[in-house]
């Protein structure tokens, strides 16, 4: 799950973890764009779990999802995932053209991605006796993949398989817990993601919350209007480039939203927001991304003690506030044209055991 306003770099982290899991599952809808840079190049996932192009795990799309069938079929073809590996729950909701039209006003007013997920979810509730509702099971092109994901999960539980559930967007965009009306159409926190997936909370071993050093919100469609909502301590890419010693072009080129290609707004870290995200999700692990925005030198760090002092103090403070370890640290995002082509960007400080369960093992962070 994301701990801020989305775009925390969840894709890259899920891509890193995906090879360790037997089953990858996604919820949410195509308003999310999750970028993964791997041996096979850069890919932006909109429906499928991040990293499934490079992993061999079984893949599930949950019943609470909203789908755009044509875009999903294209993604399935690009990722080359076979019908025996992918199950789409028959109850997932289909986004229609009318949903895109319905959201046009939201695009203007709250910088919605306008991908139709919210409208489709609302129609699902309103039209239970009416026409115009299509679920995934009603779409011919999806037929080969339609299978109850709950049944697939039960088989996985029986066989003691590991499941990685990938949330989308961020805690502060939650329909219930964000600052309404600048929110998305679902609960983006861990409980909401589990509900959409159909996974019981007692199955959960780890809650991994991804945050970035400098939270972003999507850009305003009209630059003069503050449409995408509140952002504490807002600053500029120029300011961050200057203080971190990064080339400004790197930031301006890369800090474009994956779905709508708008330039992102950026702020300094918001501790109050972090504390709320921690309260809503009780993460067992924090993942910190974009440490190169603290200092460019952090791009070259391979171990924790090679990070600069500012980053180390920041991470220690995160651990104190969250009462959870910062287990993974992403030092940079490898881009096409990156001269080093080095994909080892994650400092991995996990000390997980294979079947670690927060309820039955001593956890120094949760018990003190
Ligand atoms: P909607 O969910 O597309 O209607 O967008 C609601 C608000 O959340 C808008 O400010 C969007 O730009 C933002 N938002 C939605 N999805 C994402 C995401 O995946 N990353 C970042 N921001 C998002
Ligand atoms: Mg994104």
In this predicted structure, what is the pLDDT of residue 223?
61
In this predicted structure, what is the pLDDT of residue 279?
98
Which of the four pLDDT bands, split at 50, 70 and 90, describes residue 353?
low
In this predicted structure, what is the pLDDT of residue 357?
52
From residue 157, give the alpha-carbon distance in Å to each of 203, 284, 285: 9, 21, 23
Ligand 1 atom nearest to 110, measured from its CA: 10
Per-residue pLDDT for 50 more than 90? yes
Q: Which of 4, 27, 31 to mutate to test the pocket of ligand 1 (most atoms within 8 A of CB)?
A: 31
The string of pLDDT tens digits covering residues 62-81 is 999 999 999 999 999 999 99
In this predicted structure, what is the pLDDT of residue 338?
57
Pairing, β 265-267 against β 216-217: antiparallel
Tell the residue nearest (CA) to atom 19 of ligand 1: 32
Q: What is the largest CA-CA distance in the chain?
A: 61
- Over range 234-246, report the average pLDDT: 95
- Tokens 């309260």 belong to 279
Per-residue pLDDT for 365 more than 90? no
Per-residue pLDDT for 232 more than 50? yes
Among the bound ligands, the one closest to the CA of 31: 1
In this predicted structure, what is the pLDDT of residue 218?
87
Helix (H) or strand (E) holding 235: strand 234-235
> In a 3-state reduction of DSSP, which class is residue 135?
strand
Within 10 Å of residue 349's Cβ, how many Cβ atoms? 14
**What is the b/e burial string over 182-199, where b = at least 16 CB atoms within 10 angstroms of the residue's CB?**
bbbbbbbbbebbbbbbbb
Rounded distance from Cα 223 to ligand 2 centre (Å)? 20
Q: Are the beta carbons of 69 and 42 closer than 8 angstroms? A: no
Task: Look up residue 160 and give its two tokens.
Answer: 């003691």
> In a 3-state reduction of DSSP, which class is residue 158?
helix
In this predicted structure, what is the pLDDT of residue 333?
86
In this predicted structure, what is the pLDDT of residue 361?
46
In this predicted structure, what is the pLDDT of residue 368?
38
Q: C-alpha angle with apex 267: 263 to 272, nearest 5 degrees?
A: 135
Pairing, β 93-94 against β 234-235: unpaired
Q: Are the beta carbons of 215 and 266 closer than 8 angstroms? A: yes
Could you check whether the bond before residue 202 is cis, i.e. omega within 30 degrees of 0?
A: no
- Rounded-to-integer distance, Cα 183 and Cα 10, Å: 19
- Pocket around ligand 1 at a 6 A CB cut-off: 5-7, 31-32, 106, 110-113, 115, 118, 168-169, 173, 182, 184-185, 218, 228
Q: C-alpha angle with apex 199: 195 to 202, nearest 5 degrees?
A: 110
The string of pLDDT tens digits covering residues 99-139 is 999 999 999 899 999 999 999 999 999 999 888 999 999 99
Mean pLDDT, the chain, as a whole number?
92
Among the bound ligands, the one closest to the CA of 260: 1
The string of pLDDT tens digits covering residues 151-188 is 999 999 999 999 999 999 999 999 999 999 999 999 99
The string of pLDDT tens digits covering residues 281-329 is 999 999 999 999 999 999 999 999 999 999 999 999 999 999 999 999 9
- CB under 8 Å to 198, separation ≥6 — which residues? 62, 63, 64, 89, 149, 150, 153
Alpha helix positions (H), the chain: 10-18, 69-79, 97-102, 104-110, 117-126, 149-158, 190-197, 237-244, 248-254, 271-281, 309-322, 364-367
The string of pLDDT tens digits covering residues 198-222 is 999 999 999 999 999 999 998 776 6
Rounded distance from Cα 173 to ligand 1 centre (Å)? 7
In this predicted structure, what is the pLDDT of residue 131?
85
- Over range 46-52, report the average pLDDT: 97
Among the bound ligands, the one closest to the CA of 230: 1
Tell the residue nearest (CA) to atom 13 of ligand 1: 112
| Burial of 166 (C-beta count, 10 Å sphere; 0-12/13-18/19+) | buried
Four-residue CA torsion sign, 153, 154, 158, 159: negative
In this predicted structure, what is the pLDDT of residue 308?
97
- Rounded-to-integer distance, Cα 174 and Cα 177, Å: 5
């Amino acid at each position: 799950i994301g701990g801020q306003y989305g775009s925390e770099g969840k894709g890259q982290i899920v891509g890193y973890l995906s090879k360790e899991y037997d089953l990858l599952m996604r919820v949410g809808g195509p308003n999310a764009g999750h970028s993964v840079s791997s041996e096979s190049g850069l890919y932006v996932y909109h429906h499928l779990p991040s990293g499934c192009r490079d992993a061999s795990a079984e893949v599930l799309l949950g019943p609470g999802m909203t789908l755009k069938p044509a875009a999903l079929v294209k993604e399935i073809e690009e990722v080359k995932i076979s019908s025996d590996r992918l199950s789409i729950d028959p109850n997932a909701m289909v986004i229609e053209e009318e949903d895109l039209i319905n959201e046009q006003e939201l695009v203007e007013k709250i910088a919605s991605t306008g991908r139709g997920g919210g409208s489709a979810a609302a129609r699902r509730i309103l039209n239970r006796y009416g026409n115009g509702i299509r679920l995934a099971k009603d779409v011919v092109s999806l037929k080969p993949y339609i299978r109850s994901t709950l049944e697939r999960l039960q088989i996985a539980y029986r066989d003691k398989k590991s499941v990685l559930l990938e949330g989308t967007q961020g805690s502060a965009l939650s329909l219930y817990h964000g600052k309404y009306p600048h929110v998305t159409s679902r609960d983006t926190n861990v409980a909401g993601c589990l509900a959409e997936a159909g996974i019981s909370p007692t199955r959960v071993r780890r809650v991994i919350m991804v945050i970035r050093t400098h939270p972003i919100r999507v850009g305003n469609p009209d630059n003069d209007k503050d449409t995408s909502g509140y952002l504490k301590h807002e600053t500029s890419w120029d300011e961050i480039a200057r203080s971190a010693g990064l080339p400004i072009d790197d930031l301006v080129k890369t800090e474009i939203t994956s779905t709508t290609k708008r330039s992102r707004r950026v702020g300094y870290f918001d501790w109050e927001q972090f504390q709320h995200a921690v309260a809503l999700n009780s993460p067992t692990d924090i993942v910190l991304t974009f440490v190169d925005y603290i200092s460019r030198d952090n791009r070259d760090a391979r171990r924790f003690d090679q990070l600069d002092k500012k980053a180390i103090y920041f991470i220690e403070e995160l651990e104190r506030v969250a009462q959870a370890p910062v287990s993974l640290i992403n030092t940079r995002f490898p881009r096409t044209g990156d001269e080093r082509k080095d994909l080892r960007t994650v400092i991995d400080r996990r000390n997980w055991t294979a079947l670690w369960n927060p309820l039955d093992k001593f956890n120094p962070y949760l018990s003190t």
